[in-house]
Amino acid sequence: MKIAVGSDHAGYQLKLAAIRLLIDKRLDFVDVGCNSTDSCDYPDYAKKAAELVASGQCDLGLLFCGTGLGMSIAANKVHGIRAAVCSDTFSARAAREHNDANILCIGERVVGQGLAMELIDVFLCAKFLGGKHQRRVDKLMAIE
Ligand code: RB5
């Protein structure tokens, strides 16, 4: 599994922690930036990561900003992307199992690093359940 990871300055520390987690898990990843805590614009990195996922070059994506909101709004504008902002493990699991979310967004100013790593772990391990959820995801994507 290959993961696209990205952040703006406000999510940079969580992105570094996420990369350490991915290395521990021996998962391949592409880091689309940013590369420091210098102020930058989250849509630039959301777009790069979302396009990697939408094109199939990456299987899933992880995006970090201050709240997770800007990243999710931007990523969801890319065709084929279902980005979910999560701050609890129940939602992170349901995002994969029910919504077939392909990008997880987390806010560094909202969620502590320990919980954020659990969210990522749950999101990466959960599987889409299909069935009635597939019908709903199909309707979701038909809106595009
Ligand atoms: C940056 O100040 C902040 O607005 C950004 O990281 C994000 O939270 C936007 O949604």
* Tens digits of pLDDT across the chain (144 residues): 999 999 999 999 999 999 999 999 999 999 999 999 999 999 999 999 999 999 999 999 999 999 999 999 999 999 999 999 999 999 999 999 999 999 999 999 999 999 999 999 999 999 999 999 999 999 999 999
Instruction: State in Å: Cα 73 to ligand 1 middle.
Output: 11
Q: Which of 58, 65, 86, 105 is catalytic?
A: 65
Instruction: State in Å: Cα 34 to ligand 1 middle.
Output: 13
Instruction: State residue 19's pLDDT score.
Output: 98
Instruction: State residue 130's pLDDT score.
Output: 98
Q: Are 68 and 88 in contact (CB under 8 A)?
A: no
Specify the residue with its C-alpha closest to ligand 1, atom 10: 70
Q: Is the CB of 74 under 6 A from ligand 1?
A: no
Instruction: State residue 138's pLDDT score.
Output: 98
Q: Which atom of ligand 1 is nearest to the CA of 65?
A: 6
Considering just the CA atoms, what is the radius of gyration of the chain in Å? 14
Omega before 40 within 30 of 0, i.e. cis: no
Instruction: State in Å: Cα 135 to ligand 1 middle.
Output: 33
Instruction: State residue 127's pLDDT score.
Output: 98
Q: Are 106 and 86 in contact (CB under 8 A)?
A: yes
For 45, the token pair is: 């990195």
Q: Active-site residue 9, yes or no?
A: no
Instruction: State residue 119's pLDDT score.
Output: 99
Q: Active-site residue 58, yes or no?
A: no
Instruction: State residue 32's pLDDT score.
Output: 99
Angle at the Cα of 140 from the Cα atoms of 139 and 144, rounded to 5 degrees: 105
Cα 115 to chain centroid distance, Å, stands at 15
3-state secondary structure of 111: coil
Instruction: State residue 109's pLDDT score.
Output: 98
